[in-house]
Amino acid sequence: MTGEIEAAGDAITGGMLARAVEPGHGEAGHEAHEAGHGACLNCGAAVTGNYCPECGQAAHLHRSFAAIGHDLAHGVLHFEGKIFTTLPELALRPGQLTRRYIHGERAKFVSPFALFLFSAFLMYAIFSLTSHHGPEGARNQVKMNSEAIAELKKEEEKADARIAKVQAQLAEPGISASRRETLQEKLKDAQDERKGLSLASGLTDSLTGDNVDKAVDKTVDKGLNKGLNKGIAKTVGKAMSAAAKDPEFAYYKLKANAYKFSWLLIVISLPFLWLLFPFSRRFKMYGHAIYVTYSIAFMSLLFSLSMILTAVGITHGLVTLVLLLFAAWHMYRQFKDAYQLSRSGTLLRLPLLYGFACASLSLFFAFLMMMG
């Protein structure tokens, strides 16, 4: 019950934060039911209309107890018309919305940063309400059972024995060229199999939290990671080890850090988006930022919808497929219209866009793991 209350509080906080950063221009005058007279109660300027000409405060102010609920709903749900104008455009014409906002048509739309804040807090709140991870359940999901691990170790020993046997046969004097070629092929196959088993064993150690630090150090010692990569490999490896040993705490930390540092996803995405139009004079970093922020906000809302559908039992594969296809179409549509690209130009860059999106998410989650 406490988690549900906290989740509702997070959603309300997100809405109020979004409201705090959202520009007030273009809003309907719900607070101003009658023209004011005299001095403004906020700045003291003369008021002759519905709003103060100096500070913009409404001339008519509510002082009833019901006004508290009205102000809360107004701040959290943003019920002044702008959200109902923005969401359909964001869902169906995202590229046009992005361009219109960049070009200055802003009074009728929710700003991208305000929408991003609200969607991030909303997603966190829904995730808290719909996900249930107990300590034992989390450990059971992550850890392999001991019999499977023992079987894997036996397969590794068998592979080592086969490699040793083939190497001994190759060392025998007087073998023919064809025989040597056959044995070399067997040795290569056996070594490839051993590498696959080593990879599986390393993954098992990561998932069970056993010997992760040793495995990372061993990889580093072999020279596969050097300099900065060495430090990153050790840090991520230790984070994975700690997460496997206490998955419930790791889940809590990941959930807490995800929305606290959600803004970092915008910063990470910007260089990748710039690479799609390097040194272009048409597209500035500000435009890239508006594009990325609206895009992430929509994907957060879409992910929130998918969590709600899952929570109410609508988990059919077709529904998931529709959501994934809609997300892919949305990225295509926003990218094409926002940058006014031709169809061929869009399709040429689209694989890179999808790849950069995955890379940005990977870097973001790697950062969260390091922070944990």
pLDDT at 320: 83
Over residues 129-156, the mean pLDDT reads 59
CB atoms < 10 A from the CB of 84, how many? 11
Backbone angles phi and psi of 81, in degrees to 5: 100, -30
Instruction: State which of 235-249, 305-319, 343-357 shows the largest mean pLDDT.
Output: 343-357
Residue 110, pLDDT score = 86
Q: Following CA atoms 89, 92, 96, 97 in sequence, which dihedral angle do they give, to the nearest 10 degrees?
A: 30
> What is the per-residue pLDDT for 79?
44
CA dist 270 and 17 (Å) reads: 23
pLDDT tens-digit series, residues 207-260: 454 444 454 455 445 444 444 455 555 555 555 555 555 556 666 666 667 777
The neighbour count for residue 356, using CB atoms within 10 Å, is 18
The predicted structure's pLDDT at residue 263: 85
Per-residue pLDDT at 146: 60
pLDDT of 289 reads 93
104 or 22, greater pLDDT: 104
pLDDT at 87 over 80: yes
Q: Encode pLDDT of 158-170 as tens digits.
A: 888 888 888 888 8
What is the reported pLDDT for 340? 93
* 186 has a pLDDT exceeding 50: yes
The pLDDT assigned to 188 comes to: 84
Q: Is the pLDDT of residue 60 over 60?
A: yes
Percent of the chain residues past pLDDT 70, beyond the cut: 62
pLDDT exceeds cutoff 60 at 299: yes
Confidence of residue 16 (pLDDT cuts 50, 70, 90): very low
Contacts of 294 (CB under 8 A, 6+ apart): 90, 94, 97, 98, 101, 112, 115, 116, 334
Does residue 247 contact residue 139 with C-beta atoms inside 8 Å? yes
Closest CA to 121 of 10, 18, 258, 16: 10
Alpha-carbon span 362 to 265, nearest angstrom: 10
The whole-number average pLDDT for the span 24-37 is: 48
**The pLDDT of residue 135 is above 70:** no
Of 176-190, 234-248, 301-315, 333-347, the least confident? 234-248
Query: What is the pLDDT averaged over residues 32-47?
Result: 71
